[in-house]
Amino acid sequence: MTAAEAGKRLEPFLGTELGTGDWSLLSPYRIRKFADAVGRSGEEVPVLMLLSLIPGLVSTINLPIDAPRTALNYGLDTCRAGMPVQAGDRIRARAALLAIEEGDTWLQIKRRVTLENKAGEQVLEADTLTRLYW
């Protein structure tokens, strides 16, 4: 598959939700390890930790294209924190395709990723940029 072929296959999905990922438990141990690494304390999950979880959470949402050779986290366009998340909460990602940009050897996709808790409440929203190479 080429970047151009992938782009054509993704075009019908522009502006639509691509799916919902798997649930992930935010265990006290996991939060403590992150807090130790960044010099924080407390039971509330830091927004930076939530951002760091996005690539893994989104990876469980399949794109309707052949798997690329390489996927590069190219950054964030926007990020909005919602409600606080506590130790023991479960979160998952929802992703919608916002834009497609094609280069010579790559395809860049912009997705709106919404992290939600078990009650369906939004805890974070970020527009992510990913470059895909075949």
Q: Where along the chain do its domains lie? A: 3-133
Alpha carbon distance 110, 123 (integer Å): 20
Q: Is the pLDDT of residue 99 over 80?
A: yes
Q: Give the strand pairing for 70-81 and 90-102.
A: unpaired
User: Tokens 């390489």 identify what position?
Assistant: 70
**In whole numbers, what is the pLDDT of the chain averaged over residues?**
94
- pLDDT band at residue 10 using 50, 70 and 90 as cut-offs: very high
Predicted local confidence at residue 18, as pLDDT: 97
CATH code for residues 3-133: 3.10.129.10
Cα 20 → chain centroid: 10
Of 59, 78, 77, which is closest to residue 68 (Cα–Cα)? 59
Alpha carbon distance 84, 61 (integer Å): 24
- pLDDT band at residue 95 using 50, 70 and 90 as cut-offs: very high
The pLDDT > 70 percentage for the chain reads 99
Output the pTM of the full model.
0.90
Predicted local confidence at residue 39, as pLDDT: 86
Q: Give the strand pairing for 24-25 and 17-20.
A: unpaired
- pLDDT band at residue 5 using 50, 70 and 90 as cut-offs: very high
Of 37, 110, 47, which is closest to residue 76 (Cα–Cα)? 110
Ramachandran class of 120: left when φ > 0, alpha when ψ lies in -120 to 50, beta otherwise: left
DSSP state of 101: E
